[in-house]
């Protein structure tokens, strides 16, 4: 199981730097000079390895220079690439409000009223907010915004409790 630690947002400048949306609480270690990153290309484009030659913050963003990327065109081709690590290499900790995707996948989902909704099939990381993809017993996929107002309670043992607003699941 892989965990996403960053996503390439876009190219920066003409030398091949990339802007990375950080998804780890240890970016200084994960993106340190000399670190080798596993990158998964979008839309099934395969996996590649990249070596960090420089990392810097610029206007609240992480800019990376990678040994294998020379120039803006090559950097543009990385847009959407996910940098991942093996879940076995990470301790998820004891914080009750912190979860990795793989810890949520497979959890049962019920409403605050106790009605069974389905099972978390995946977590989608979108620019606005994360989304829980929930598969119902009938095989229908429901998309639930992963925000506290709609997902007030999560337990690794008990599952996910949602409080969907009216119309969320209407088609």
Going from N- to C-terminal start, the domains of the chain cover 2-89, 101-162
As a whole number of angstroms, the distance between CA 43 and CA 46 comes to 8
**pLDDT reading at 118 higher than 70:** yes
pLDDT in tens, 119-161: 999 998 887 889 999 999 999 999 999 999 999 999 888 899 9
Q: Cα–Cα distance between 11 and 127 in angstroms, integer?
A: 17
- 64 or 91: which carries more pLDDT confidence? 64
Nearest-CA neighbor of 104 among 114, 90, 92, 91? Answer: 92
Which pLDDT score is estimated for 103?
83
Residue 170 pLDDT > 80: no
**Whole-model pTM above 0.75?**
no
| More confident call, 32 vs 60 | 32
Fold of 101-162: SH3 type barrels. (2.30.30)
> CB–CB of 120/127 below 8 Å?
no
pLDDT above 70: residue 91 = no
As assigned by CATH, the class of the 2-89 domain is mainly beta
């Amino acid at each position: 199981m892989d965990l996403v630690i960053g996503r390439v947002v876009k190219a920066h400048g003409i030398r091949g730097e990339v802007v990375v949306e950080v998804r780890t609480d240890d970016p200084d270690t994960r993106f340190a000079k000399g670190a080798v990153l596993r990158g998964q290309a979008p839309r099934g484009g395969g996996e590649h390895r990249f070596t960090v030659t420089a990392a810097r913050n610029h206007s609240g963003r992480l800019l990376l220079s990678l040994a294998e990327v020379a120039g803006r065109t090559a950097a543009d081709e990385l847009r959407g690439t996910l940098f991942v690590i093996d879940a076995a290499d990470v301790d998820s900790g004891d914080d009750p409000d912190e979860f990795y995707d793989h810890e949520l996948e497979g959890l049962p989902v019920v409403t605050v009223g106790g009605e069974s909704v389905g099972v978390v099939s995946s977590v989608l990381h979108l620019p606005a907010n994360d989304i829980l993809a929930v598969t119902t017993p009938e095989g229908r996929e429901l998309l639930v915004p992963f925000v506290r107002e709609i997902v007030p309670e999560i337990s690794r043992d008990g599952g996910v409790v949602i409080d969907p607003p009216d119309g969320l699941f209407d088609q």
